[in-house]
Amino acid sequence: MLKKCASRIYMVLIFAFLYLPIIVLIALSFNDSRSKVKWGGFTLRWYTGCFQDEKIMTAFVTTLQVTFLSAIISTLIGTLAALGIAAMKKRHQTIYLGATNIPLLNADIVTGISMMLLFVKFIDLGFVTVLLAHITFSIPYVILNVLPKMKQTNRSTYEAALDLGATPLYAFYKVTWPEIRPGVFSGFMMAVTMSLDDFSITYFTKGAGVNTLSTMLYTELRKGIKPELYALSTILFFAVLLILLAGNVYPGKKRVAAK
Amino acid sequence: MSKHLIDFIGISKSYDSNLVLDDLNLYIRENEFLTLLGPSGCGKTTTLRLLGGFESPDKGQILFDGQDITALAANERKLNTVFQKYSLFPHMSIAENIAFGLKISKKSKAYIQDKIKYALKLVNLEGFENRSVDSLSGGQQQRIAIARAIVNEPKVLLLDEPLGALDLKLRQNMQYELIRLKEELGITFVYVTHDQEEALTMSDTIVVMNQGYIQQIGTPENIYNEPENAFVADFIGHSNIIDGTMIKDELVEILGARWACVDKGFGNNKPVDVVIRPEDVELVDPSEGTLQGEVTSLIFKGVHYELDVMAGGYEWLVHTTRFVPVGTKVGIKVIPFNIQIMHKPESSDEKAVEIDA
Amino acid sequence: MRKFKQQFLAGPYLIWIIGFILLPLIMILYYAFTNGDGSFTLSYITAIADETNRKAMGLSLRLGIICTIVCLVLSYPLAMILNNMKIKNQGLVVFIFMLPMWMNFMLRILAWKLLLSKNGVINSILTGFGLSRINIINTPTAVVLGMVYDFLPFMLLPIYNSMTRIRKDWIEAARDLGAGNVTIFLKIILPLTVSGIISGIVMVFVPSLTSFAISQVLGGGHVLLIGNVIEQDFMQGMQWNAGSGLSFVLMIFVIASMTIVNIFDKEGEGTSIC
C-alpha cells in the first residue's frame, strides 16, 4: 500500500501546484490592503470597485463581445465546412484538413503577426480585426469537433429520409443534425474557451484603444495591478466553473435517462 | 483415472457484497477437456479468472499439481489463457504477439522462430508472421490468440468463451480445430461457455453452474441423459419439465394422469419435477395415449418436425420425423425408461433457478 | 434535384482559408524577403545569426526543451495514477486537473509573479518562518516555471486519453504470458501511449518555444527569448521586415521540430487535438 500512498501524495502535490496561484488570487481579492501580500483584513470593496471601474468594464464587455461573436460565427462557418468536407473526395479532404491545421500548429505569435501585416493594408486595427482574427483561429476547433461526428453518421439514414420523401433540409434537420449536435456544441465551447484565453493574437491585431481583459492586464502590469482585477478574475473563475459544471452534469444525466 | 492436476478447495468470491462463488469445490484431472457451462453471471468466468490469477478468492485454496498457488500472480502461474476478446497486442505484428511470452522467458532467437512457425502451422495460419493485428478477421485473431498461448507450453490452457464472437459456421469449424489441438498438444483445457452445444461437442467433463453453485458435474452423455435437476435439464436442452407427484416407487402422476416410470426411492405422494425430452414423446392414436391432445403448431426443422401439442393443460414440445398436421387429435405416450424424475429444489439457493416450463 | 452539392457548404471556409490563413502567411514571406523599398534580400533571414538573435533563439530552444521534459515527467505518472484510480466519476477527477486552464492566461502568469516576486507571497511566508528568501523572479527558472504551469494540461490530456484507450485485457494477457510490472510498462503501456506523448510534446514545445508574454512578465525584461525579439521589432522598433524574417525562421523551427517528432510517431495521429 506504499505505492498507493505515494501516488496520493504525488496527486496532492501536483494539485497544489496547479491551484496555489488561483488560491492566491482569490485570497487577494478579499484583502483590504493596497500592498500585494500583507493581509489587511477582509473586504468586498474590490468587488464593488471593479464594477465601477470604467476601464475594467470596457475591457470586460469587449472580451465578451469578441468571444461570443467569434464563437457564433466560427461555429457557423466551421459546421458548414465540416458538412462540406465530409462529402469531399479523400484528396480534397486532405488539402482542407492541412489548411485547417495551420492555425492550430503555427505559433500564436506568427499567426498574430501575419494577420496584422495583412489587416493594416486594408483597415485600421481595432475591434473588427480582433474579431476576424478570433474567428480564424476558432474555426479549426469547430471543424475538428464536428467532423468526427459526421464520419460516424450513417449516410444511408440521410438517404433513407430523402427516399421517404423528405426534402434535403428536412432530412438534415431530422437525421444529420441530432447526430452532429454534440460536436457542434463542444466545438462552440472550445471556440469560447480559446477566444477568452487568447492573448498573443489579440495583442498583435488589436491596435491602440481596444483592449480585451488579457491585453489590458498585460499593459496594466507595468503600472502595478489594481486589486479590482483580482476581484474580477475571481468572479470569472467561478462563472466558468459553474458553466463547466452545468455542461458536465447535464449530458451525463441525459445519457443515463436514455438507457 | 488420471490424477488431479487442479483442485479448488472451498473457494468463495464476492464483488461489492455480491456473492459470485460460494464454497466451490472442484477438481480437474490431467489431460482433461473440462467445460464450465452456465448462463451469464453463474460464476464460470470468475472461476476461470481465479485459476488464471487475475482475481484472488476471498476464501479457499487453489492447488496446482498439489501445490498451493492461491497467492501466485498470473505471470507466475504455469498456465495460459485465451481471452474472450482475443486481446492481441495492437502495436505488435503477429510474430511479435506470439513471441511475447517466449521473449520473457528468455528463449533463444532460433527457438522463438521455430516456435512461431510451428504454432502458426498448428492453427493453420502459415505465413502470417508479419501481418498486423488489424488486418485479421475475428476467427484469425482467435487462432493467433491460441497460438500465442500454446507456444509457452502451458500445462493447462484456459479458454474464456473463445468462440463467442464468431459466426455459427466459423464456430463449428473452430470446435473441431480445438478438439484436434487438444489431442495434438496433450494438455488440459479448461473451457468456459454458455453454449450447451459447444460444451456437449468438445468436453470430456462438463460442470454446469448457476448463481455461484455447481449444479452437476459429469460427462456430456451423463449430463444430457440424466440431468440432476430442472435447471440442468432446461439449460442443456429444450425439455418438457412438468410438476408431478410421486405416488409410489415406479409410479408418478402428472397432469392428472398416472405414468409408469423406473425411478424409486422418492417416497410416497412427494412433489417432484418430471423431465421428458421432446424426442422421447411418442404420438399415437388418441385411444392408445396416456393423455389426449391436439397439435397446435408445426415447424419443419430439417431433420425433424417440431410440434406443440396441447394435452392435459400443458403445451408439450415434441420432436418427430412424422408429418402431423395442425389440428390432428393425438395421444401422448412415453415409455417408462424415458421419464426422468427429479427432486424439487429445497433450499432457497436452488429455488432461484426456477424455470418457466 | 436530390443531388445538391454538399461540398459547396465548405465554400465560406475556403474563402476564409485564402483570405485569413494563406494571404497573411504570404505577407510574412513578402516582408521577410524584401527590403523597405521592395527589393529582394536574404539579410533578414540571415539576421538570425546575429549575436542577440542567436542567443535569444538558443535560450528559447533550451527553455522550450526543459519545459517539455518537465511537463512530460510530471504528467506521465499523473496520467497513470488517474487512469488506475478505481473511481466511478473519473471525468470529474480529470476535470479538476484541467480546471486551472480556464483561468485567464494572463491572470495565471500574473499570479505566479505575485507568488515569486521579491516581496511576494512565497518570500513573505519564508521570512515569516525565518527561512531565507528564494530569488528566482526575473530569471529563466521563473520563466520555465510559468511555462510548465501554463502548458502542463496540454501534456496531461493527450497522454491520459491514450492511456484510457489501453484495454484492461491487454494488460491481463501480458501478465498471463509471464510479464511482470516492468515488462508490462515497457512493452505494452509505453508503446501504446507513444502517440499521446508525441501530441503532448508538440502541444507543449511549440508554444513554449514561441512564447513572449511569459518571459516578459516573469523574466522582467531580463530573459530575452526569440518571441520577445520579434515582439519588439513589431511593437517598438517598427522593423517589420526584420520581425518577419525572424518569424519566418521561427516557423521553420516549428515545422522542423514537428517533423522530427512525427518521425517517431508511426501511427500518424500525433497532431490530433484531444
Name the grid cell of B249: 416407487
Encode pLDDT of A41-81 as tens digits. 888 888 998 888 888 899 999 999 999 999 999 999 999 99
Residue B242 pairs in a beta bridge with B274
CATH of domain A58-245: 1.10.3720.10
- Cα–Cα distance for residue pair B129/B112, rounded to 1 Å: 12
Q: Which residues of C touch B53 (CB under 8 A)?
A: 175-176
In a domain, C84, yes or no: yes
- Cα–Cα distance for residue pair A125/B81, rounded to 1 Å: 68
Instruction: Tell me which residue in C77, C114, C121 faces A10 most closely, judged by beta carbons.
Output: C77
| pLDDT above 80: residue B345 | no
Asked whether the beta carbons of residue A110 and residue C13 sit closer than 8 angstroms, the reply is no
Task: Choose the final residue of a domain: B225, B257, B273.
Answer: B225
Amino acid in position C52: T
Specify the CATH number for the domain of residue B286: 2.40.50.140
Instruction: Tell me which residue in B80, B87, B91 faces C169 most closely, judged by beta carbons.
Output: B87
Burial class of B61 by CB neighbour count within 10 A (0 to 12, 13 to 18, 19+): middle
CA angle C48, C51, C52 (to 5 degrees): 80
Interval C265-271 mean pLDDT: 47
- Cα–Cα distance for residue pair A209/A201, rounded to 1 Å: 16
Q: Which residues of C touch A15 (CB under 8 A)?
A: 96-97
CA angle A143, A146, A148 (to 5 degrees): 105
The pLDDT, as a whole number, for residue A175 is 82
Encode pLDDT of A15-52 as tens digits. 999 999 999 888 888 988 766 667 778 888 889 988 88
- Cα–Cα distance for residue pair C96/B340, rounded to 1 Å: 64
**Coil, strand or helix at A49:** helix
C4 — pLDDT class (breaks 50, 70, 90): low
Q: Do chain B and C touch: 3 or more Cβ pairs under 8 angstroms? A: yes
Of C236, C162, C148, the residue nearest C192 (C-alpha): C162
Name the grid cell of A150: 459526421
Encode pLDDT of B242-281 as tens digits. 888 999 888 999 988 899 988 888 888 888 888 888 888 9
Residues B157 and B34 in one domain: yes
Encode pLDDT of C164-215 as tens digits. 999 999 999 999 999 999 999 999 999 999 989 999 999 999 999 999 999 9
Instruction: Tell me which residue in B74, B87, B101 faces C170 most closely, judged by beta carbons.
Output: B87
- Cα–Cα distance for residue pair B176/B296, rounded to 1 Å: 38
Q: Which residues of A touch C100 (CB under 8 A)?
A: 18-19, 21-22
Residues B273 and B205 in one domain: no
Cβ burial C62-82 (10 Å sphere, 16+ → b, else e): ebbebbbebbbebbbebbbbb
Contact C163, C196 (CB under 8 A): yes
Encode pLDDT of A119-134 as tens digits. 999 988 999 999 999 9
- Cα–Cα distance for residue pair C26/C22, rounded to 1 Å: 6
Of B143, B107, B5, the residue nearest B63 (C-alpha): B5
The pLDDT, as a whole number, for residue B187 is 92
Contact B204, B34 (CB under 8 A): yes
Residues B300 and B169 in one domain: no
CA distances from B225 to A135, B99, B124, B261, B276 (A): 75, 44, 36, 15, 10
> Which structural domain, as residue segments, surrounds residue B207?
4-225
Distance between C91 CA and the closest CA of chain B, angstroms: 22
The pLDDT, as a whole number, for residue B127 is 92
Interval C19-29 mean pLDDT: 93
Contact A127, A135 (CB under 8 A): no
Alpha helices in chain A (DSSP H): 2-29, 45-52, 54-86, 90-105, 108-122, 127-152, 155-163, 168-171, 177-197, 200-205, 213-223, 227-258
The pLDDT, as a whole number, for residue B346 is 54
Residues B23 and B155 in one domain: yes
Alpha helices in B67-128 (DSSP H): 94-104, 109-122
| pLDDT above 50: residue C271 | no
Does B165 or B356 have the greater pLDDT score? B165
As for how many domains chain C has, the answer is: 1
- Cα–Cα distance for residue pair B88/C160, rounded to 1 Å: 22
Asked whether the beta carbons of residue C9 and residue A107 sit closer than 8 angstroms, the reply is no
- Cα–Cα distance for residue pair B278/A201, rounded to 1 Å: 80
The pLDDT, as a whole number, for residue B354 is 39
Encode pLDDT of B203-231 as tens digits. 999 999 998 899 999 999 988 888 888 88
Does C260 or A75 have the greater pLDDT score? A75
Interval B325-337 mean pLDDT: 91
**Consecutive H or E run containing A125:** none
Of A174, A228, C5, A149, the residue nearest A216 (C-alpha): A228
Distance between C196 CA and the closest CA of chain B, angstroms: 14
Residues B37 and B158 in one domain: yes
Distance between C177 CA and the closest CA of chain A, angstroms: 24
Strands B33-37 vs B205-210: parallel, antiparallel or unpaired: parallel
Of C84, C213, C92, the residue nearest C146 (C-alpha): C213
Q: Percentages helix, strand, coil for chain C, rounded to the nearest 5?
A: 75, 0, 25
Specify the CATH number for the domain of residue B8: 3.40.50.300
Contact C274, A189 (CB under 8 A): no
Does B98 or C37 have the greater pLDDT score? B98
Q: Percentages helix, strand, coil for chain B, rounded to the nearest 5?
A: 30, 35, 35
Asked whether the beta carbons of residue C28 and residue A113 sit closer than 8 angstroms, the reply is yes
Instruction: Tell me which residue in C121, C210, C272 faces A107 most closely, judged by beta carbons.
Output: C210
The pLDDT, as a whole number, for residue B348 is 40
Residues B221 and B265 in one domain: no
Q: Which residue of B has its CA nearest to C172?
A: B54
Q: Which residues of A touch C251 (CB under 8 A)?
A: 106-107, 110
Does B83 or C272 have the greater pLDDT score? B83
- Cα–Cα distance for residue pair A223/A247, rounded to 1 Å: 38
Instruction: Measure CA C240 to chain center.
Output: 25
- Cα–Cα distance for residue pair C23/B39, rounded to 1 Å: 66
For chain B, list the contacting chains (3+ Cβ pairs, <8 Å).
C
In a domain, B230, yes or no: no
In a domain, C214, yes or no: yes
Distance between B193 CA and the closest CA of chain C, angstroms: 18
In a domain, B354, yes or no: no
Cell 497513470 appears where? Answer: C80
| pLDDT above 90: residue C125 | no
In a domain, C212, yes or no: yes
Encode pLDDT of B19-36 as tens digits. 889 899 999 999 999 999
**Coil, strand or helix at B20:** strand
Residues B198 and B265 in one domain: no
Instruction: Tell me which residue in A24, A136, A244 faces C111 most closely, judged by beta carbons.
Output: A24
Determine if residue B61 is left, alpha or beta; phi over 0 gives left, psi from -120 to 50 gives alpha, anything else beta: beta
Around Cβ B78, how many Cβ atoms within 10 Å? 14
- Cα–Cα distance for residue pair C268/A101, rounded to 1 Å: 14
Contact B94, B133 (CB under 8 A): yes
Contact A225, A28 (CB under 8 A): no
- Cα–Cα distance for residue pair C12/C16, rounded to 1 Å: 6
The predicted complex's ipTM stands at 0.85
As for how many domains chain B has, the answer is: 2
**Coil, strand or helix at C91:** helix
In a domain, C33, yes or no: no
- Cα–Cα distance for residue pair C198/C193, rounded to 1 Å: 9
Strands B188-193 vs B205-210: parallel, antiparallel or unpaired: unpaired
Contact C122, C116 (CB under 8 A): yes
Encode pLDDT of B145-193 as tens digits. 999 999 999 999 999 988 877 777 888 888 888 899 898 888 999 999 9
Instruction: Measure CA A214 to chain center.
Output: 13
Encode pLDDT of C100-123 as tens digits. 887 888 888 888 988 888 888 888
**0.95 exceeded by pTM:** no
- Cα–Cα distance for residue pair A127/A108, rounded to 1 Å: 19
Q: Which of these ranges, A50-59, A146-155, B289-298, has the smallest mean pLDDT?
A: A146-155
Name the grid cell of C31: 516582408
Amino acid in position B102: L
Name the grid cell of A192: 469560447
Question: For B315, phi and psi rounded to 5 degrees?
Answer: -90, 105
In a domain, B191, yes or no: yes
What DSSP letter does each residue of B227-292 carry, written as one string?
-SSHHHHHHHS--EEEEEEEEETTEEEETTEEEE-S---S-SSEEEEEEE-GGGPEEE-GGGSSEE
Mean pLDDT over each residue of chain A, to the nearest integer: 86
Interval C6-13 mean pLDDT: 87
- Cα–Cα distance for residue pair C104/A64, rounded to 1 Å: 13
Q: Which residue of C has its CA nearest to A204?
A: C235
Amino acid in position B32: E
In a domain, B209, yes or no: yes
What DSSP letter does each residue of C186-214 carry, written as one string?
IIIIHHHTHHHHHHHHHHHHHHHHH--HH
Alpha helices in chain B (DSSP H): 44-52, 94-104, 109-122, 138-150, 168-185, 196-202, 220-225, 230-236, 348-351
Task: Choose the final residue of a domain: B172, B192, B225.
Answer: B225
> Which structural domain, as residue segments, surrounds residue C89?
49-263
In a domain, C92, yes or no: yes
* Highest mean pLDDT, choosing among A170-184, B116-130, C54-68: C54-68
Name the grid cell of B44: 464460470
In a domain, C272, yes or no: no
| pLDDT above 60: residue C9 | yes
For chain A, list the contacting chains (3+ Cβ pairs, <8 Å).
C
Question: For B356, phi and psi rounded to 5 degrees?
Answer: -90, 105
Helices C90-98 and C51-84: crossing angle in degrees, nearest 10, is 160
Name the grid cell of B62: 487453489
In a domain, C38, yes or no: no
Task: Choose the final residue of a domain: B165, B197, B225.
Answer: B225
Contact B350, B281 (CB under 8 A): no
Q: Do chain A and B touch: 3 or more Cβ pairs under 8 angstroms? A: no
Best mutation target, B45, B54, B133, to test chain C (most C CBs within 10 A): B54
Contact C152, B73 (CB under 8 A): no
